Chain A
Amino acid sequence: MSEFNVQQREHGEISVLDLKGYLDAHTAPKLEDAFQDLLAAARFNIIVNCRDLSYISSAGLGVFMAFIEEVRKNEGDIKLTNMTPKVFNVFDLLGFPLLYDITNEEAEAIRKFTEKRK
């Protein structure tokens, strides 16, 4: 059984989702729920920390596609950080670095959000 969970942290106006485990077709709805909750709470500055994400499938990538438009329409962003090379490779193969802000460290993503606000 693939294990996956999402934990949410707040960092001022930024919400950080910590992903852990296998994000695949089976677990993607969990991430969908997490995004839906954030959007419902009008939290549009979102960082997804992938430090403990061990695998991502197309369905998992699809979740990011499903929400990015609405988030950006509300002047927010989904920034992805701390990917392992294996996970980054999947994002890269499917062309995600073109559309998403992917940084090495969470701090960098936080800085970008903070600078934008100023």
Chain B
Amino acid sequence: MARESTEPTPPDTRTYESLFEHQALFDFSKIINSSLDRKFILNHILLTIMGKMVSVKGMVLLGDGADGYVVTMLKGFDGDLLNERVSIDPLPDQLFTLEDLDEGRFPWIRFFRDQQAEVLLPMVITDKPIGFLAFGGRYARKQITPKEKTYFLSLANISATAVEKSRTIEELRQVNRQLDMKLQELNTLFDLSKEFGSLLDAEKQIRLLVLTLMGQAGVHRYMICQQSGPDMRPVASRIDGPEPQTRLLQDLARIKRPFVVDNLVIRNHPELREVLKGIGMQAVVPMQVQGETRGLILLGEKMTKEPFSPENLEFLASLGNLAMISLENTRLFREAIEKQRLEDELMIAREIQKGLLPAVLPAIPGISLAADNISSKQVGGDYYDALKLSETEWVIAIGDVSGKGTPAALLMANLQATIRALVPLKFPLDELTGRVNDLMCENTGGTKFVTFFWGILDAYAGTLRYVNAGHNYPMLIRLDGSVRRLDKGGIILGVMKTEIPYEIETIQLTPGDTLVMFTDGVSEAMDRDWREYGEVQLEGAVRSHKEESADQIIEAVYADVVRHVGGAPQSDDITMMVLKYSG
């Protein structure tokens, strides 16, 4: 009886196969879920199903978020299809073999039929296909059984979860990287602003900007330009070839937005793009302060060979603006410091000068002496002096030191010290002048000079022995209105050592004589039309006041000079000394 047979029951083929298939599904799921690498997952899916289907062509299309699907991987199909987008809409209720579908209702079928795809498997997660698997070139074109169909659809759906998981992870990775990048950019801005704020050295600021640009953009070639007056000047560069002309760069300053050189169109200068490309520049970023382009950043190719994206350029523009504000602040700060320094220096010069001029002129019998100095803003280095030499003799002197400011004031102090040291030695005035000249030459090395007039006044004899070393000829105006210019002497002090002795002249004064000594600040005082006051007008002014006291004459001449210049700023000191002899 068969019932008593000891033969083992033959295995139920259906259970066996089903078990086998479940095991295979489980293994498949395990493998594709063990990886987060999308490429690996897709590869495994394609190969597994192609193997089971005995087909030589497979393709994965993944959803792009809309109703489109992009060819992401393919095997056996035409490689040009990679990244092609197919709109798979509408979808039939049931999907498997393509031959059952009506191309009229589902026009997208054409894409697959053109490629001789035969089977299309949707990868579904909760009703929505996240992608499709297409297969073709089946080896034995036998009918796929309903059981096989269910099996393939299961494989596709298991794939869907794994693909979706890897995609989510991939997206997270990308978002993370974008966040990292933003953070990196913020750090860069923060780092720079912190450091720029503490640096007040334009050269260091530019170096820092360059390093940051090289690091952030990953470039080797660059050029930084800064507006300087009317020119856009390169201030730092590493380029192949010569720097472009400032005229061309100036045209770039009109551009308010960063741009890629390839996109550059400037109507007036079509060659500009070629010039920039010629020196390897790929991007131009304006550096702006309050909407005005004050500098330019030009960058060469990135080491990644990637083009500059709009986001890159936007960020570099922020970086550039930040740098420009700091550079501008540094410039303004430097200018303010420099201005302050000059003013301080002039203040010192003015004080030196004031300190050297005699506070009170000596009282000389039979003579009234007056002097005044109005120092210009720049401090000219004018000098006058009057010293008692003996009971009967006095030295009077006037001079004009070349240059302005502290150097002139110091030279003037030097002259005064020399005079005061040598005068008591009572050498003859001409010889003394020679010695003063030699000393000045030694002290200045022939780079500065002094025009100088001095004389020894004998109050009792009523004589003046004078030497004029290149100074404006003083005017001796006599009571009868005649004028004599005191022009004897020699070359100005400090230019060359005395070779030709200075000439000396002695003048006999008569009561009512007025001696006017002045510096070129008086005769060359200019009005707004650059017209000089002139010696003729000076002489006229003195002459019409010749009856008056020395003080009054100085006052009158100043009033006349002030009228002439009419408020025009004066660049030189105005100095006068007037001597009135009453006998």
Seen from chain A, the residues whose Cβ lies within 8 Å of a Cβ on chain B are 24-26, 28-29, 32, 57-66, 68-69, 89-90, 93-96, 98-99
Tell whether, in the assembled complex, residue B220 and residue A58 are in contact, meaning their CB atoms are under 8 Å apart: no
Q: How far is the CB of B77 from chain A (nearest CB, A)?
A: 32
- Where the two chains meet, the residues of B that have a C-beta atom closer than 8 Å to any C-beta of A are 177, 180-181, 184, 187-188, 191-192, 194-196, 198, 204, 207-208, 210-216, 218-220, 302-304, 306
Q: For residue A58, which residues in chain B have a CB less than 8 angstroms away from its CB?
A: 184, 187-188, 191, 211-213, 215-216
Number of A-B contacts (CB under 8 A): 90
Q: How far is the CA of A60 from the CA of B218 in the complex (A)?
A: 12
B191 lies within 8 A of A61 (CB): no
Residue of A nearest to B181 (CB): A93
Contact A25–B208 (Cβ < 8 Å): yes
Q: A28-B211, A59-B211 are in contact. Are A94 and B191 (CB under 8 A)?
A: no
Some 14 contacts from A to B, beta carbons below 8 A apart, are A26-B191, A29-B204, A57-B191, A59-B188, A60-B215, A61-B215, A62-B210, A65-B218, A65-B219, A65-B220, A66-B214, A69-B220, A94-B184, A95-B306
Question: Measured between alpha carbons, how far is A106 from B181 in the docked complex, in Å?
Answer: 28
Query: A57 CA to B216 CA in the complex, in Å?
Result: 9
**Other-chain residue from A28, A62, A65, A98 in contact with B304 (beta carbon distance below 8 A):** A98
Query: How many Å from the CB of B330 to the closest CB on chain A?
Result: 15
- Residue of chain A at shortest CB distance from B211: A62
A25-B213 CB under 8 A given contacts A58-B188, A98-B303: no
CB distance from A46 to the nearest CB of B (A): 17
- List A contacts of B213 (CB < 8 A): 58, 62
The reply to whether B191 and A25 form a contact with Cβ atoms under 8 Å apart is yes
What CA separation (Å) do A46 and B188 show in the bound complex? 26
Complex CA distance for A25 and B187, rounded to whole angstroms:
11
Q: Which of A28, A59, A89, A98 has the most CB of B within 10 A?
A: A59
CA distance A93 to B210 in the complex (A): 19
Give the distance to chain A from B375, nearest Cβ to Cβ, in Å.
46
Measured in the bound complex, the distance between the Cα atoms of B215 and A58 in whole Å is 5
Contact B208–A94 (Cβ < 8 Å): no
Closest A residue to B204 using CB positions: A29
Question: Roughly how many angstroms separate A52 CA and B208 CA in the complex, as a whole number?
Answer: 23
**A25-B194, A26-B194, A57-B191 are contacts. A96–B218 as well, Cβ < 8 Å?**
yes
- Find out whether the CB atom of B303 lies under 8 angstroms from the CB atom of A62: no
Query: Are A57 and B187 interface neighbours, CB within 8 A?
Result: yes
Report chain B residues within 8 Å CB of A25: 191-192, 194-196, 208, 211-212
Smallest Cβ-Cβ distance to A32: which chain B residue: B211
A61 touches B181 (CB 8 A): no
Give Cα A69 to B181, complex, Å: 26
- Give complex CA distance A18, B219 in Å: 25
Does A24 contact B218, Cβ atoms closer than 8 Å?
Answer: no
From known contacts A25-B192, A57-B187, A62-B210, infer whether A95 and B218 are also in contact, taking CB-CB under 8 Å.
yes
**A28 and B208 contacting across the interface, CB-CB below 8 Å:** yes
Q: Which of A26, A63, A93 contacts B180 (CB 8 A)?
A: A93
Q: Do A95 and B188 touch across chains, with their CB atoms under 8 A apart? A: no
Compute how far the CA of A93 lies from the CA of B187 in the bound complex, rounded to whole angstroms. 13
Q: Please, which residues of chain B bring their CB within 8 A of the CB of A57?
A: 187-188, 191, 212, 215
A residues near B208, Cβ cutoff 8 Å: 25, 28, 59
A90 to B195 alpha-carbon distance, docked (Å): 20
A55 to B306 Cα, complex, angstroms? 26
* Cβ A63 vs Cβ B191 within 8 A: no
Q: Are B214 and A99 in contact (CB under 8 A)?
A: no
Which residues of the other chain, A, contact B303 by a CB distance below 8 angstroms?
A: 65, 95-96, 98-99
Complex Cα distance A40/B223, Å? 25
Given the known interface contacts A58-B184, A62-B210, the answer about A94 and B220 at a Cβ–Cβ threshold of 8 Å is: no
CB distance from A36 to the nearest CB of B (A): 12
- Which A residue's beta carbon lies closest to that of B196? A25
A-chain residues with CB within 8 Å of residue B216 when the two chains form the complex? 58, 61-62, 94
CB neighbours (8 Å) of A63 from chain B are: 211, 215
Residue of B nearest to A69 (CB): B220
Residues of A within 8 A of B187 (CB): 57-58
Residues of chain A within 8 A of B184, CB atoms compared:
58, 90, 93-94
Which A residues are in CB contact (< 8 Å) with B194?
A: 25-26
In the bound complex, CA of A28 to CA of B204 (Å): 11
**CA of A78 to CA of B192, assembled, Å:** 25
Chain A, residue nearest B216 (CB): A58
Distance between Cα atoms of A24 and B194 in the complex (Å): 10
Expressed in whole angstroms, the minimum distance between the Cβ of A98 and any Cβ of chain B is 6
Taking a contact as CB atoms under 8 Å apart, the answer to whether A93 and B211 are in contact is: no
13 further interface pairs, Cβ-Cβ under 8 Å (given A25-B195, A69-B220, A95-B302) = A26-B195, A26-B198, A29-B207, A57-B187, A59-B192, A59-B195, A59-B215, A62-B212, A65-B211, A65-B220, A65-B303, A68-B220, A95-B306
For the complex of A and B, list the 6 residue pairs with the smallest distance between their C-beta atoms, beginning with the closest: A61-B215, A62-B211, A62-B215, A25-B195, A58-B215, A62-B214
Residues from chain A with a CB closer than 8 A to the CB of B210 are 62, 66
Contact B191 A59 (CB under 8 A): yes
Which residues on A sit within 8 Å (CB–CB) of B207? 29
Q: For residue A24, which residues in chain B have a CB less than 8 angstroms away from its CB?
A: 191, 195
B177: min CB distance to chain A, Å: 7
> In whole angstroms, what is the CA distance A54 to B272 when docked?
44
Question: Closest residue of chain A to B178, judged by CB?
Answer: A93
Of residues B198, B212, B302, which shows the largest number of chain A Cβ atoms within 10 Å of its Cβ?
B212
Q: How far does the alpha carbon of A64 sit from the alpha carbon of B195 in the complex, in Å? A: 19
Closest to A95 in B: B304
With contact pairs A25-B195, A99-B303 given, residues A93 and B215 touching in the complex (Cβ less than 8 Å): no
Q: Give the residue among A24, A29, A68 with the most B Cβ atoms within 10 A.
A: A24
CB-CB nearest in chain A for B188:
A58
Min CB–CB distance A6 → chain B (angstroms): 15
